[in-house]
Every structure is written in C-alpha cells, then in structure tokens.
Amino acid sequence: MTNITTRSFTRRQTLAGFGAGVSLTALGGCAQMSAPATGGTIDGTAQGQLDGIAYALLRHEQERATALGVDTGRHAALRSGLEDQSQTGQDAYAQTLRGDLGVARQWLGRDDLTADERTSFEVVESAYSTALDGFALPYGDVAVGSWRNAPYVVIQNVGSYLDLPRFMDSTHPLKDASDAAAYIARLEQVPAVLEGELGRMQAARRLGVVPPDFLLAKAVEQMRATLTDAMEGGALVAPLEGSELAAAKAAAPLAREIVTRRIAPALEAQLGELYAEQKVATGDPGMWARPRGDEWYRWALRASTTTDLSPDEIHEQGREELAALHTRMEPILRGIGYTSGSVGERMQQLSADPRYKFAEGDPGRAEIMAFIKDRIGWITAQMPRAFNTLVDPNLEVRRLPLAEEPGAPGAYGGAGSKDGTIPGRMWINLRTTDLHRKYDLADLTYHETIPGHVWEGEYSNRLPLIRSILAFNAFSEGWALYGEQLADELGAYDDFEVGKLGYLQSLAFRACRMVVDTGLHHKRWSRKQAVDFFVNENGSKREEVESEVDRYCSWPGQACGYKVGHSEIVRQRVRAQDAMGAAYDFKGFNDAVVLGGNAPLDVMAKNVDRYIAGA
C-alpha cells in the first residue's frame, strides 16, 4: 500500500476547519442510518402517506435522495449516508418494503382516492411486491423500482467500486461546508459498504453462484484499476481537491487518508474474492447454469417487463419483430445501393463505409460530442409538435469515467434531480470512436435525452416523490424507444435516409435482445452464439455487441424490457386511434402516457383507458 505523506487529521479536527455551524450530530457521523419498518403518513392524506413511504425507502438508499435533490431541510442527514450493502442491511430494507406494501394495499381498498392517487399506490404495490419476490431469492442484488437486477453483487458493471466514484464526482454536491462534511461522512462509510458486498459475494460462492469466467476477467481488470487509483487517493479525493470551496480543499487530506488507508484495503479484499471466484468459474454464460437459475431468471423477466411472459414467448416475439423490422429496412438498403446479402450482412458493409465513421482518437471524440449537441438542439425545437405539456430539461452530455468504459454500453442516460439542481445526463462511452456511426448516433441521442429518458424523467419529477423514485424498466426503456419513433415521425431522417436505417437497426437491435437474452439464460446458448446472432442477423458491430452480451449475462432479463415496453406503448396508441376515431390526437395521446408517469405496463394501460374515456 502507498504510504501517507500528508499528516494525519482526525475527523473532528478537519470538520472544525470547514466552517462554523456544521454539526457532527446533525450529519449523523459514519454510522448508517436506521430506517423505520414502515413509512408513516405525514399529514393523514394520501399524499402524506405516499411521501412517508418515499422517505422510508430513501432512508435505505440515501444516494437516491441526493440524486433527487430531496436531502435537504429535515431530511438533510440523508446527504451523509450510503446504502447498507450487508445482508443485514438488505434484510432490513425488505422489512420496510413488506410493511409499506401492506400500507399501500390498505389505501387501495378505499373508495375516496383520486385517479392519480390510485395510480401512485398501484405503482408502489407493483414495485414492492416484485422487489420482495427478488429479496426472497437466496442471492443477487435487487433493484427496488429500478432496472439493474443482478445475480452477482460485484462484477464488471455492478458494484460500489464503480458506482461510488461516479456518484461522488457527479452527484454529491459541494456548495458549502456542510456538503464537504457530508462528503467525508460518506467516505467513512465506504469500507463498510464494500465489506457488506464482500460478505454477500462470499455467501453466493458458497452456494455455488459464481459469475462466468469472461465476466470475472473484466471485473478483475476494472477492480485493479479502481484499487490502483484508490492507493493514490484518486477519483474519490479529486472532487474535493478540484473544488473552489475552501472547506472542500480543507477536507482533502482527511479524504486521502480515508481512501488510501481504509477504502483501498477494502477494495483489495474484494479483488481477492474475485480471484477466488476465478479459480472455480466456468464459461457457461446463462442463469440456467446457476443454482435455482431458472427461478431467478423468471423473476428477472417479470421485474424487467412487468408482464408474466415466459422466456419462450419473449424469444418468439423477438424473432417475429426482428423479421418485420428487416422487411422495413430492405427497400432502404436497396435504394442506397446495397442489394446483395442478408440485411445483417449489408448493415455490416454499411458500418465499414468510411463516410459514416468518426475520426479516431480525440478529434473523433470532439466530433461525436458536437454531433450530439446539434441533434439535441434540433429535437428540442420539435417538442411543441409532439406534446401539449412541455418541459425544459436541465441537460448535459458527459463522457463515462474511464474505469467504467470497458464494461459499459455505448451510452446511457437519465433524468436530473427533482429540484433541477442536478442535470439530466447522457453518459457516452468514448473508449473508442468506432463504437458509434454517423447514421446511428442521432437515434442514440434521442433515446437517452429528448424525447427519451431525460425528457420522460422531467414529467415523473413533477409527480409525488415516490413516483420520481420508482421506475419500471419496460416503461423507461419502452418510452425511450417510443421517443426514437417520435423523432422519426417528426422528420429526423427526412433528409438523411441512411439515418433511418440506423433508427430501424436500433429497434431491430432491441428485438435481437429479446432473442439473445432468452437464448443465453433459457435456451443454453454460448456467448459466441449470442454475439454471432447480433452480428449476422442485425449487422451489429462485433466490439459493441461483445460488451452488450456480457451485460445480459450480468443483468439477466433487463434487455428484454425495451422492446416489450415499446411494442405495448405502440399497441396502446393503435387501440386509442381505433377507439377514438376522429377525436384521437397525437399530442394528446403522448401527454396521456408521459403525464401518467413511469408505471408498470398494466397501469399505463389504465391511464390510456382514462384518456379514451375522457375524449
């Protein structure tokens, strides 16, 4: 380990230098916060009960409170806490969910709720009951009202070793001395967080649950990079050192001591566990090869799609939708001169065309960022044509942290904080510019930003707090694909037909996901079979889909939610058109879906019912 050259400071000495009025008691120290078994109603109303449920959840996931901008006032102590990743902490989380699920069901038995209140309690019921079924399984990491359910607590794209450096840099605020103190309080909890994960990793290995060897190879490389960085202080100290806030700079020496002397050894222990797992790992990629894997995968599919579709049903739906999309791509390919070979083969030829590649290295990275900015500007100007109710997202585009890029997808995005202080973001993977093409980057931008994830999140942030917290993969990703469709319908590719191929290939890519995910986890496909299916059937870039397939192995079922959700939104639109006839309104339908908030697909359908009935 690296020797510490700065002199040692006690936490109290350092905090004393941050500024007057910062109380150790108010910050809650380094102990993780205890949470009540249920969320009590704040004022006896349905809204008060929903807020009580929300804050009971946030006492277990304090990072979400910061991301939403609600760790203020009487909830300010949330800013100094981290989620308890130990098995004991996860059991306590499940206990809270169990109690509040009962509360939500009691409220749903009342006949005095408004339609919006009933929808919110239905959302709680769906999210909590699904999560509790996941907590009842003997291993894995359960996302409560979110998308990243994983059988492996730490792997190439799961774990605090990845999440916390990004969170502390991009989300934890450093506006005053109390923020700097809260930053230190959080750093002090990181060793316990990592140790909690380690205990669950070891327990899973004792059950015979070990990730496939090719995922472990990536995770080991990334963990080594994170550990090397932590041995010097690195990413977890940099936000303090780079801040203009005097209190933050004053906290940096203590932060460096915490990171190098306490966090680095905890990371080293996790690395040792990954080495132990490598010794017994196999190359089998799917959940079928893990204990109770079939059961785990069926639950993951239900969580991801909010349906009871079986693996076989999803597999066949994916194949059918892929064939239909290739039929739409065929005439465009012929029209631009690609006439021989399968659609997949011709899309590979298109991908190799230098006209559609970005430059290599930093010049290409700058070109990509400028391209994204231009497309965001264009699509933002079109939104009054698609919605009656408009939002104005605070939005930024950032490159993924370098340590995260090897195991990450091409991009991802999400809404900002509820109070608007933290922007919505599109994170773009720029480890190589060859991940992106000029004919597919526009579509990716619409998916992650406007009218996709960032746009939709702005509406959810206007709803009760619990609705801003709880999100459903099928709606989130289905809406983002629907956002891609809206961009096409608004004329995004009228003057660039090759760009429409990129959009259709994107939809086809999501249909492929349904086939590949179920192939890996249910039909016992190899990793090579999965990669080859993407490359041969859809013309996808091999380097891109290798990371994609690895992601499906570590997040089983998640990839199926995209197209299942999109197809259901489109089906609901057709249903509304048929039922309403001349009264149907494009902007009105879009408002009905997005204003209803992020919801399970059956709850979303009820919102459409109300739109139809109100015409």
pLDDT digits (tens, 9 = 90+) for 352-367: 999 999 999 999 999 9
Residue 277 Cα distances to 209, 362, 411, 521, angstroms: 9, 37, 29, 20
pLDDT-derived band at 28 (thresholds 50, 70, 90) equals very low
When mean pLDDT is compared across 9-18, 118-127, 470-479, the lowest value belongs to: 9-18
pLDDT-derived band at 469 (thresholds 50, 70, 90) equals very high
pLDDT at 615: 76
Structure tokens at 556: 């089983």
Mean of all residue pLDDT scores within the chain: 93
d(CA 166, CA 172): 9
Is pLDDT above 50 for 20? no
Identity of residue 601: L
Is pLDDT above 50 for 12? no
Q: Please state, for a pLDDT cut of 90, what percent of the chain lies above it.
A: 87
pLDDT-derived band at 543 (thresholds 50, 70, 90) equals confident
pLDDT at 4: 33
pLDDT at 607: 93
pLDDT-derived band at 18 (thresholds 50, 70, 90) equals low
pLDDT, average across residues 269-298:
98
Residues 384-441 have pLDDT tens digits of 999 999 999 999 999 999 888 887 888 999 999 888 888 999 999 999 999 999 999 9
Strand order in the sheet with 411-414: 395-399, 424-428, 411-414
Residue 111 Cα distances to 3, 46, 226, 260, 550, angstroms: 66, 12, 54, 57, 48
d(CA 297, CA 310): 10
pLDDT at 146: 87
Helices and strands in the chain: count of H runs, count of E runs: 26, 3
Residues 179-216 have pLDDT tens digits of 999 999 999 999 999 999 999 999 999 999 999 999 99
pLDDT-derived band at 538 (thresholds 50, 70, 90) equals confident
d(CA 357, CA 351): 8
pTM: 0.88
When mean pLDDT is compared across 37-46, 53-62, 121-130, 385-394, the lowest value belongs to: 37-46
Is pLDDT above 80 for 10? no
Show me where the domains of the chain are located.
11-296, 297-567
pLDDT at 5: 34
Is pLDDT above 60 for 233? yes
Cis-peptide, bond into residue 393, ω within 30° of zero: no
pLDDT at 14: 46
Q: Please state, for a pLDDT cut of 70, what percent of the chain lies above it.
A: 93
- Rounded to a whole number, what is the distance in angstroms from the first to the last CA of the chain? 68
